[in-house]
Amino acid sequence: MAKKRQDKDLELFEEATETPETGAAPVVVEKQKFDPLRDDHGPLKQLVDFNFLQYATYVICDRAIPTLEDGLKPVQRRIMHALKEKDDGRFIKVANIVGHTMQYHPHGDASIADALVTLTNKRYLIEGQGNYGNIFTGDRAAASRYIECRLTELARKELFNKDLTEWIASYDGRNKEPVTLPCKLPLMLMLGADGIAVGLSTSILPHNFIELLEAQVEILREKKRTPVELNLLPDFQTGGLMDVSEYNKGNGKVKLRAKIELRKNNRLVITEVPHGTTTESLTASIEDAVKKKKVPVRAIDDFTAEKVEIELTLTQGAVQEKAIQSLYAFTKCETSVSSRLICLRDKRPVEMTVDEVLRFNTRQLLEILDGELNLRKAKLLDDFHNKTLVQIFVENRIYKKIEQCKTYEAVVKAIYKGLEPFKKQLRRPIIDDDIEMLLGVRIKRISLFDIEKNRKDIDDILAELAEVEKNLKGLNGYAIRYIKRLIKEYKNQYPRRTEAASFKEVEVRELTATELQIKRDENGYIGTNVKGETILECSSLDKLLVVWSNGKYKVMPPPEKLFVDDSLERCEVFNREKQFTAVYTDARITYLKRFQFGGVIMNKEYYCSQGEKSKLQLFVDGTPEGIYVKYNKAKGQRIYQQRFSPADIAVKGVKSRGNRMTTKSIKYIGTEPGRWWDPDDAGAIPDGVLL
């Protein structure tokens, strides 16, 4: 069946038609094969495309990416809204808040509880009571039924205003939830955020609250033609040190280090850990480095509770400063964090800088303050209107004019007529609701005491109204005073925790230059796991060059145990740019060459001679001034010693054959004349010629 179906799919369908009038031959029409790149697809592809787009949009806009306007993800916003609805100033069970939030958030209670704990540990918006875990050790919070929370005073005052909030129906249509909160704080930069969505991810690092407010003051004070240069740096709750040379205003990376203090008796104490690590992961990385003999530590004691305190006892003879460098090089005492500031603006993901976000927040602050002042102005005008009407109604005894009225319409008409001469004292026209309000005035308010109090209330309203109108005209100055009040109130509560510094690159090779010892034993083995004479000290990061007496060589990591027999010529740290001079004999002809090894493949065997039957006569670093050769005596031979000058030939690749030196049998060879060299005959001996 499958074969028939395949044949049918591959077949070109033909449609034959015969013209009835002429009886002409059938016309064959070929149907082209389906081209997936050019032809229209069917409804299944459209359905998949639509569903994927819906899913991607949902993940980006409703789950993973924070909104620029209030800096919150949907679950965080719903938690804050639920807390506001339940807020009475007292602590509330987290489980109750989780349940209430589920009216707005169509996901499980675990995700809501985790988000609430994370927000609480960031301190700004939610105050917790009970075990909320430990950001230093990584311990998890207790179950939501055992812990309590409430809004902080900062969140209660600066995040909510139902009159300035846009509302939409919740996912099931039973409730109303805010589109965004009318937040007056630069909350996204205060809290930071991480999120992975479809096709993009965001990583926003937290910043210091007070520094953000101070930068907003500078923005409000700047002139249009001379914008201020903002120097906003991240600030992490775990403290530590940071290098922001690559931060790039929120779209780069930050290098972080633990803060390590020197103590007596050859001890070090870690008092602050880098962001993204915990004391548990940090100590595990140190233990791993100790096993690999990367850091000179013999004991680790973790005394962390409310503050980080990891005590490291160094091995005897270790230098504290060098040990600190080793910790930064080989453990999580130094990490790096990438930053990419992506958020939702007008329901679309955009990439921004920290400066752009803060300027947007500052403009939004002005808009919200303007909205609050206008709402307050409208409320004051209503209060002024009502109290002025009551004062006119009582002082001029207009209520007396309704005593003889027999119908409600006559009462309303009489009050309107009585208020007519006093319209100039009011700031808006009188409406029927005002009449209803006057008819509800209680008899006791007509007393002299209540009239005097009413007059004082009107004076207070007018004074506050004048202040509001003044603030509306000078909105920038009002915003600056508002921010400075926040700075004064919270400066001591939110100090900077992370210290900016410039890190010097740790020279790992220098730290580990003598980490390993390559030894050689009597059985022809070399390596780090061999007992015998030490021939080389090196780093585990080094590559070793091993050269045999026939010219074979290999580049490899430091071996634990390698058999070389008695034919080992050279073992050293590999440097591809280093120059060598070699003399080797192959097929009774001796050659001299200067060369560099260049690039190699690890653990692959090569030859710097002509092959395995060759023999190295001399292998030295660089270019010696001369090479002295003593030949074996032979019948008819006139020259028994010669001096050659290697500088006369060029430096070539390792595969070059070299220059022909001699065909005589060599007895002695060296870069300096030995005892075997006859100085008395040196003047009569010609220098060797390299062919």
Q: Which residues are catalytic?
A: 146
- How far apart are alpha carbons 239 and 217 in whole angstroms? 26
- 3 state SS of 619: strand
Max Cα–Cα distance, the chain, nearest Å: 160
Residue 451: CB atoms within 10 A of its CB come to 14
Cβ 690 vs Cβ 592: under 8 Å: yes
**Cα-Cα-Cα-Cα dihedral sign, residues 344, 348, 350, 355:** negative
**Cα-Cα-Cα-Cα dihedral sign, residues 673, 678, 684, 688:** negative
- How far apart are alpha carbons 367 and 608 in whole angstroms? 77
Query: Letter for the amino acid at 130?
Result: G
- How far apart are alpha carbons 532 and 512 in whole angstroms? 21
Q: Which residues of 634-643 are buried (b: 16+ CB within 10 A; e: fewer)?
A: eeeeeebbbb
- How far apart are alpha carbons 399 and 393 in whole angstroms? 7
- 3 state SS of 166: coil
- For 170, phi and psi rounded to 5 degrees? -70, 175
What tokens appear for 201 in the block?
Answer: 């991810």
Residue 414: CB atoms within 10 A of its CB come to 18
Question: ∠ CA(629), CA(632), CA(633), 5° rounding?
Answer: 125
- First and final C-alpha spacing in the chain: 79
C-alpha dist (Å) from residue 80 to 89, 101, 203, 215, 568: 14, 9, 22, 26, 74
For 666, residues 6+ apart whose C-beta sits below 8 A from its C-beta are: 585, 590, 617, 629, 630, 631, 632
- 3 state SS of 15: strand
Number of helices (H), then strands (E), in the chain: 16, 35
- Tell me which residue has tokens 């050279």: 570
The number of residues in the chain equals 691
- For 621, phi and psi rounded to 5 degrees? -75, 150
Residue 348: CB atoms within 10 A of its CB come to 9
- How far apart are alpha carbons 546 and 569 in whole angstroms? 8
Strand ordering across the sheet containing 516-520: 533-538, 516-520, 525-527, 562-563
Query: Letter for the amino acid at 200?
Result: L
Residue 232: CB atoms within 10 A of its CB come to 22
- How far apart are alpha carbons 31 and 29 in whole angstroms? 7
Nearest one of 164, 143, 149, 144 to 87, comparing CA atoms: 149
What tokens appear for 653 in the block?
Answer: 């690749």
